[in-house]
A and B are shown apart, each in its own frame.
Chain A
Amino acid sequence: MKNLFENLDRVLEHRARLQIMSVLVTNDSYDFNSLKELLGSTDGHLASHMKALEKEKYVSITKSFVDRKPNTKYKATAKGINSFKKHLDALEALVKQQK
């Protein structure tokens, strides 16, 4: 039992971060505002989680301007995708063991 918990990714234990990674894994890239809309999150809330994911190098960022407004796009990195998959496997294993 203990082993299974160790496989969980401590960064992705936050549900919001797990949701963000799930969007970035299924889509090539996603911009900040669309992500905010999809998750029903606030600017500050999302920004703090993005910063945490960025620090772990789970996401890469491209900043540009669209119609003179700043547009921040996120992509999942190979490291991020790997960690996400491992975390999912660990979650599934935990839930399965419970049943």
Chain B
Amino acid sequence: MKEIPEYEKDLASIRTIMERSVKFISLSGISGVLAGIYAILGAVAAYFIVHYPISLLNQRVYSINDFETLSQLTLIAIVVLIASLVTGFWFSSRKAKKYNEKLWNATSKKLFINLSIPLITGGLFILILLYTGHFGVAAPASLVFYGLALIQGSANMFDEIRYLGISEIILGLVSALVPGYGLIFWVIGFGILHIVYGTIMHNKYDR
């Protein structure tokens, strides 16, 4: 028979173990903020390619269909994506080291699979949209699928990610209603929301 304080310790110890066995705690808030900044820089570059010298607030009625512009935009998107992934990976492995954990553990594997399914589905779906000439709904679709992926993965991440996912989905749906403003919604969804949530997570978990 143990003493009562020992039982209290039992309860406390399983609480942290349960949390750590489910949540991928190495995810870094700073990398979210940086990903948001990359997205805004990418959007600025895209703006100068597509809209310039028209104002951002004027609705763009024609769609992009010349090969050169499309390939430039694709290049920007790929650079932003790779920069975000590399940053996320670097900061998370640093945080994992700090907590004496492995970056690639049972939880992050589960998270990776859960995120991959909606992200790859969304990526292929958007490629099909672009291929069939539905340029207007490509940006909304990316926001919606990204939001669904976040909600799918949120079980293995911090609780805030779920709200980020819901925000992205709402933004994507609104964006689909007002075609032609895709770039602005992109800046809000991938830029501003990442910076806001990244800051919240950094202040709450990384201190």
Contact = CB atoms under 8 A, between A and B. Distances in A.
Real binding pair: yes
B106 A34 contact: yes
A47 B155 CA distance: 29
Nearest to B14: A22
A86 to B, nearest CB: 14
Which bracket fits the contact residues of A? 20 to 34
Contact of A22 (B2, B8, B17): B17
Nearest to A27: B21
B25 to A, nearest CB: 11
B57 interface: no
Interface in B1-55: 1-2, 4, 7-11, 13-14, 17-18, 20-22
B1 A5 contact: yes
A26 B106 contact: no
B11 A23 contact: no
A23 B4 CA distance: 23
B102 interface: yes
A31 interface: yes
Given A5-B1, A13-B2, A95-B4, A38 B11 contact: no
A88 B11 CA distance: 8
B14 A18 contact: yes
A94 interface: yes
B105 interface: yes
Interface in B91-139: 101-102, 105-106
A95 B13 contact: no
Given A26-B21, A37-B102, A18 B10 contact: yes
A39 B100 CA distance: 12
Interface of A: 5, 13, 15, 18-19, 22-23, 25-27, 30-31, 34, 37-39, 88, 91-92, 94-95, 98
Interface of B: 1-2, 4, 7-11, 13-14, 17-18, 20-22, 101-102, 105-106
5 contacts: A22-B21, A23-B18, A26-B22, A27-B22, A39-B17
